[in-house]
Amino acid sequence: VDFQTPLHWAASKGCSAMVQLLLDAGAEIEAQDQDAKSFTPLHEAAFCGKTDCARLLLARGANVHARSKDGWTPLHFAAKTGDLECIDLFLTAGADINAMSRDDTQMSPAHVAAKEGNEEALKLLFAAGADKQAKMSGNMTILHIAAHSGNASLIQYLTNLMPEVVNGACTNGRTPLHFATSNGDNETVEQLLAAGASTKIKDILRQTPLKLSKKLGHADITAQIKEARKEKAPCNVCGANTAQRCQRCMTTAFCSRSCLKSGWKAHKSNCTRAMVGNTTSTMSSRG
């Protein structure tokens, strides 16, 4: 390819013997390609998932901190591909685990892994000390970018790991639930709601996730959010959380007809008292 050196090409194709030969012949190990990316051979090896070539380049002195035109390090590209061996190689070589890209996104390798849905890569980065609270441009957390990209399994992992960020708002006021709603991603919405995502936070346009789902015509998500908004309580019989109530008194929770039938004998007298109390309260308020 015209804009690449032979060393770039060999690294991208995983030709370790050719890489060795070119280096022995004096090839420039930090040469940048001449297209808009400005990759070094090590970037190429990482981008193409060629770990053996990356290992060889590092052994011959390649800079693990090298930046592409957008400010991506080789570790960013390993996080993008999800290549665990390559990630481990770069970390062992001293790569900056929290290096932020120098483009408009300002992403860390952890953000990149989340964007691509590479859960195992993200776990490896966190285990090695990556900043879980890192924010990219727009004040977006790793959970924001995961919700924006849509990966329910990754969402579950992140909300279990750091439940405190589930309602974090980025610069435009949007929470991860806003992003999942905007994308029409039912499964991710379900995971976020299960993790306690608020349905009432408004973005800078004063849109809640519910208002946004209606605006975009996401009927299923609208129904999901409405269901989540209902006040839930433990079923009087089995203890399962439910929004359903006894239809006579509307106070005691029963999750199903079978639980209502099972608990009716014990509930009947309380139900009558509750109905009388509700009637008295209504009459008093009218007086």
Domain spans, the chain? 1-137, 139-232
Average pLDDT estimate for 82-92? 98
pLDDT of residue 229: 83
φ and ψ at residue 103, rounded to 5 degrees: -95, -165
Residue 11 has pLDDT above 60, yes or no: yes
Does the fold of domain 139-232 match that of domain 1-137? Answer: yes
Q: Residue 235 corresponds to which tokens in the numbers above?
A: 């079923």
- The answer to whether the CB of 223 falls within 8 A of the CB of 199 is no
pLDDT of residue 269: 79
pLDDT band at 273 (very low <50, low <70, confident <90, very high): low
pLDDT of residue 36: 66
Average pLDDT estimate for 235-261? 79
Average pLDDT estimate for 89-102? 98
Residue 280 has pLDDT above 50, yes or no: no
Q: Which residue has the higher pLDDT, 273 or 113?
A: 113
Eight-state DSSP code of residue 233? E
Q: Which residue has the higher pLDDT, 96 or 247?
A: 96
- The answer to whether the CB of 252 falls within 8 A of the CB of 271 is yes
Fold entry, domain 1-137: 1.25.40
Which CATH architecture describes the domain 139-232?
A: Alpha Horseshoe (1.25)
Eight-state DSSP code of residue 245? B
Percent of the chain with pLDDT strictly greater than 70: 92
Residue 232 has pLDDT above 50, yes or no: yes
For helices 119-127 and 152-161, give the axis angle rounded to 10 degrees. 20
Window from 74-83, 175-184, 230-239, 277-286 with minimum mean pLDDT: 277-286
Residue 267 has pLDDT above 80, yes or no: yes
Q: Residue 184 corresponds to which tokens in the numbers above?
A: 């029409």
Percent of the chain with pLDDT strictly greater than 90: 74
- The answer to whether the CB of 72 falls within 8 A of the CB of 44 is no
pLDDT of residue 279: 41
User: Please, what is the average pLDDT of the chain?
Assistant: 90
